[in-house]
Amino acid sequence: MLDIARKTKTDLVLISEYTGEKRLDYLVDGILRFEKERINDKIVRRVFVDKMRGFQVTSSNYLFTLEGGKFTHFVTTATELGSGRHKVIEEKELPFRNYSTGIEDLDTIIGSYPRGGFVLFEVVGDSISWAYRPVLFHAIADFLLNDCGVIYMPEDGSYSSSVKKLLSDYVSEEALDKNLRMPTISKTESENPRLFHLEGEGDGKAGSLKEYLAKHREVYKELKKPVLHVFGLTRPNIYSEDDVRETLSEAVSWVRTTNDVLIGILKPSAKLKNEICEMADVHLRFIPINGTLNLYGVTPRTVIYNVSPLPVGEKEEKYHQLKFVPFV
């Protein structure tokens, strides 16, 4: 059969339902092995390139899906999601006057962010420590461009000034000045209208987290509009578990009485992870697979979705957007 195929220059595809090395492996030019595995009881598919004669194999395996009855493989790494101007999503298209996630696909998957809700972004693994940010920044940009406020306490290891620079890829400086507020311990930086001054963190004073929350509420009242609150949940690690528990419980309870939304960024090193997860109204878990960014809903429960940039046609407006493709 192989001799006839070579003599007639015919491509031959053989399908085997068994894995493991066989004598036939040494005769064929290429071997692709398709496998299905489960991560937290959710399906993930991989294709392994065991052999490809005459070609340089840059990766031993790739993720793929059969969504829509079509083979689609995922190659965009978590660090290549990019950034760019955000296009506002009309609130009238959302249920119960909820807030958009800033991403059309994600709105369809989870039904948007509820007013008065606590939304948790849980990051699993250090290899995607910042890769979730395009998902977060699109939510922030949508709030800003809908003339809502954003108060953002950056994640541990990140400065307000650097975050502001990153957000300027998504929205104009005018929108940032008008609606974005972030804390800083620098008195010089606090002269910037977007930044409000805090005393140095971790000074050992009892009630330091309460003082931050009091200042946060003061800034909130000055905005006089619905607000997206964003907390990096590793930043309070310098305080005791009791202080973190009390402050976060108070913040979540307070937001539930408003038309606002609270997004918490939960990384592996954060304290009280189990307790924080139980508080969430919406819980999205970001996971790295083969260097790509993927997520699934813990609440509401969803399949795993791969996250990649949405291609923009040459004649279309140059907005940045993400697409979410399910593993099926």
Amino acid 55: pLDDT: 86
Amino acid 306: pLDDT: 97
- The answer on 83 and 34 residing in a single domain is no
Global pTM? 0.89
Torsion angle of the four alpha carbons 221, 224, 225, 226, in this order, in degrees rounded to the nearest 10: 20
* Residue 190 pLDDT > 70: no
Nearest-5° angle of CA 225, CA 227, CA 229?
155
- The answer on 23 and 97 residing in a single domain is no
- Half-sphere exposure in the Cβ direction for 297 (13 Å, CA): 18
Q: What is the mean pLDDT of the chain?
A: 88
- The answer on 32 and 146 residing in a single domain is no
For 18, other C-beta atoms within 10 Å of its C-beta total 5
- The answer on 315 and 222 residing in a single domain is yes
Contact residues for 110 (Cβ-Cβ < 8 A; gap 6+): 101, 282, 284, 297, 300, 302
Region for 170 from its dihedrals, namely left if φ exceeds 0, alpha if ψ lies in -120 to 50, beta otherwise:
alpha
Amino acid 5: pLDDT: 77
- The answer on 114 and 36 residing in a single domain is no
For 135, other C-beta atoms within 10 Å of its C-beta total 21
Evaluate whether residue 68 is within a structural domain.
no
**Count of domains for the chain:** 2
Which amino acid, one-letter code, is at 139?
A
Contact residues for 21 (Cβ-Cβ < 8 A; gap 6+): none
- The answer on 260 and 229 residing in a single domain is yes
- The answer on 306 and 160 residing in a single domain is yes
- The answer on 322 and 255 residing in a single domain is yes
- The answer on 100 and 52 residing in a single domain is no
Token digits of residue 51: 């052999």
Amino acid 189: pLDDT: 64
* Residue 257 pLDDT > 60: yes
CA 63 to chain centre: 19
- The answer on 152 and 258 residing in a single domain is yes
Evaluate whether residue 132 is within a structural domain.
yes
- The answer on 138 and 48 residing in a single domain is no
Residues 59-98 have pLDDT tens digits of 889 999 999 999 999 989 998 999 999 999 876 566 667 8
Which amino acid, one-letter code, is at 29?
D
Which is nearest to 67 in space by CA: 285, 295, 293, 306?
306
Peptide bond into 300 cis (omega under 30): yes
- The answer on 285 and 158 residing in a single domain is yes
Evaluate whether residue 64 is within a structural domain.
no
* Residue 204 pLDDT > 50: no
Amino acid 294: pLDDT: 96
> Which of residues 208 and 42 earns the better pLDDT score?
42
Residues 221-247 have pLDDT tens digits of 999 999 999 999 998 898 999 999 999
Q: Give the pLDDT band (50/70/90) at residue 34.
A: very high
Q: Which domain holds residue 17?
A: 2-58
- CA distances to 56, 98, 103, 114 from 86, rounded to whole Å, are 38, 19, 9, 21
User: Quick check: helix, strand or coil at residue 316?
Assistant: coil
Q: Give the pLDDT band (50/70/90) at residue 184.
A: confident
What DSSP state is assigned to residue 312? -
Amino acid 207: pLDDT: 44
